[in-house]
Amino acid sequence: MKVLNIDPDSPLFGYIRPGYKLVSINGDPVQDVIDFRFRTIGDNVSIKFSDPKGEEFDFDFEEIEGDLGITLDDHRVKFCKNDCIFCFISQQPQGMRRVLYFREEDYRLSFTHGNFITLSNTTQADLDRIIEQRLSPLYVSVHATDDKLRRCMLRNEKLPDILPRLKLLTENGIIIHSQVVLCPDVNDGKHLEKTINDLAALYPGVESLAVVPVGLTKYRKRLAELRAYNAEEANQIIDRIEEIQKQLFKVHGTRFVWPGDEFYVQADREFPKLKEYEIMSQFENGIGMAREFISSFNRRRAGLKNIRSDKRVMMFTGFSAYPFLSKDMIPYVKETLGLDLSLERISNRFWGESVTVSGLLTGQDLLRRARALSDKFDTLILPPNCLNNDNLVLDNLPLEQFEEVLKKPVLVGQYNFAATIKEAFA
């Protein structure tokens, strides 16, 4: 790995430069940044670098405390070998950001970023390393513990049995957060119950299980036939999982398994109370996110009572978030606070109307609707999760283009809804 940068406060500053290569630590090659950090913890560490001409330099440390202040070039990522019947990447058209077409399956990113992996390309050496370096927790997509069904869903006949791998990891102190992408008439019903029971038997090593509905776009030509759940089915799934939660709570003191927020939206029913989500271990997976959003606003809304403004503000959202936003939160802002806030749900023409989450709204759909409604607002609020860190929407439309076209302020909402209201009406 090449050295990209070195902090002035680093003990190696002035001795090595960007462009040097990391050769070894204590005589052993280094696989990646995680391995580098693991091997530089402790006493008696010998690090070898080489300059661009190949000359080598050794640095010996009796003790290393904290970070050495070195940024290394580490872009090697493991590819996914599966061809899942529900893979969202396979349901995309051309013209999106390049990164959206990349199928990664890397246990290191599961550890560092919470990405879900299937353990399909994790070798025995990888498992040994995970255990040795305590790369925990990991996030594992199980989908089914029936290995024949799992291989069929992932379209990978070489897929190793999942339960032995999970047992190996959990018996060696690795915490697993698991998920099931639920597909109608495929891995639900008795298959889901088996999966829940098998994974719950590995508690507390397997600490949680999220059950989320399959996401389908209109780009499914030559792909497996799948359908979405209807409201009645969503209700049945919630009812059954909540029954299982009660049973598991009696045994383990945890509900262990949670339906995704989307099931509650599909079923048109209230989200569970915040405390029922316990420690929110799968918040980013859409487990309890809606309830936290609502509860957070309720805790903070008293701080909005002094806002005075005659601005007309419009907020865009997807169909999934619209019901709970429009039920209590928007009426409070409009009727109790007297602020001119309107909520507009945006149809996802790009992916298809079966895709209802705001995070998958594209710039073209958002801007098309904004232009049509531009005479009805002074400030526009976009959903908080539809832009990346570079302020680009999925189809690469920059945030600045919205303001250039609309000639009006455009804000990106926050998950703290009260803070969004303060900013919009400032």
Is residue 77 situated within a structural domain? no
- Is residue 118 located within the same domain as residue 158? yes
185: domain CATH number?
A: 3.80.30
Give pLDDT, residue 377: 97
- Is residue 176 located within the same domain as residue 113? yes
**Percent of the chain at pLDDT exceeding 90:** 82
Does residue 96 carry a pLDDT above 80? no
- Is residue 112 located within the same domain as residue 260? yes
Q: Side by side, which strands form the sheet with 116-117?
A: 116-117, 138-141, 176-182, 206-213, 257-259
22: domain CATH number?
A: 2.30.42.10
- Is residue 137 located within the same domain as residue 38? no
- Is residue 303 located within the same domain as residue 252? no
End residue of a domain, out of 11, 44, 72 = 72
Domain count, the chain: 3
Is residue 303 situated within a structural domain? yes
- Is residue 253 located within the same domain as residue 209? yes
- Is residue 118 located within the same domain as residue 255? yes
Is residue 7 situated within a structural domain? yes
Is residue 79 situated within a structural domain? no
- Is residue 319 located within the same domain as residue 364? yes
Is residue 404 situated within a structural domain? yes
**Distances from the Cα of 161 to the Cαs of 19, 42, 120, 147, 207, in angstroms?**
43, 37, 9, 6, 20
End residue of a domain, out of 42, 72, 102 = 72
What size, in residues, is the chain? Answer: 426
Give pLDDT, residue 76: 81
Is residue 132 situated within a structural domain? yes
pLDDT in tens, 222-231: 889 999 999 9
Is residue 49 situated within a structural domain? yes
Residue 263 burial class via C-beta count within 10 angstroms: exposed 0-12, middle 13-18, buried 19 and up: buried
Q: Kindly state the average pLDDT of the residues 82-110.
A: 84
Residue 251 burial class via C-beta count within 10 angstroms: exposed 0-12, middle 13-18, buried 19 and up: exposed
Does residue 265 carry a pLDDT above 90? yes
End residue of a domain, out of 44, 72, 100 = 72
403: domain CATH number?
A: 3.40.50
- Host domain of residue 309: 294-424
pLDDT in tens, 358-417: 988 999 999 999 999 999 999 999 998 888 888 888 888 999 999 999 999 999 999 999
Q: Residue 286 — pLDDT band, cuts 50, 70, 90?
A: very high
Give pLDDT, residue 97: 66
Does residue 95 carry a pLDDT above 70? no
Q: Kindly state the average pLDDT of the residues 281-297.
A: 94
- pLDDT mean across residues, the chain: 93
**Percent of the chain at pLDDT exceeding 70:** 99
Q: Kindly state the average pLDDT of the residues 153-176.
A: 97
Is residue 78 situated within a structural domain? no
Print the SS3 string covering the chain. Answer: CEEEEECCCCCCECCECCCCEEEEECCECCCCHHHHHHHCCEEEEEEEEECCCCCEEEEEEEEECCCCCEEECCCCCCECCCCCCCCCHHHCCCCCCHHHHCCECCHHHHHHHCCEECCCCCCHHHHHHHHHCCCCCEEEECCCCCHHHHHHHHCCCCCCCHHHHHHHHHHCCCCEEEEEEECCCCCCCHHHHHHHHHHHCCCCCEEEEEEEECCCCCCCCCCCCCCCCCHHHHHHHHHHHHHHHHHHHHHHCCCCEEECHHHHHHHCCCCCCHHHHCCCCCHHHCCCHHHHHHHHHHHHHHHHCCCCCCCEEEEEECCCCHHHHHHHHHHHHHHHCCCEEEEEECCCCCCCCCCCCHHHCCHHHHHHHHHHCHHHCCEEEECCCCECCCCEECCCCEHHHHHHHHCCCEEECCCCHHHHHHHHCC
- Is residue 271 located within the same domain as residue 184? yes
- Is residue 42 located within the same domain as residue 116? no
pLDDT in tens, 233-252: 999 999 999 999 999 999 99
- Is residue 122 located within the same domain as residue 26? no
- Is residue 277 located within the same domain as residue 234? yes
Q: Residue 285 — pLDDT band, cuts 50, 70, 90?
A: very high
Task: Specify the range with the lowest mean pLDDT, choosing from 39-43, 137-141, 285-289.
Answer: 39-43
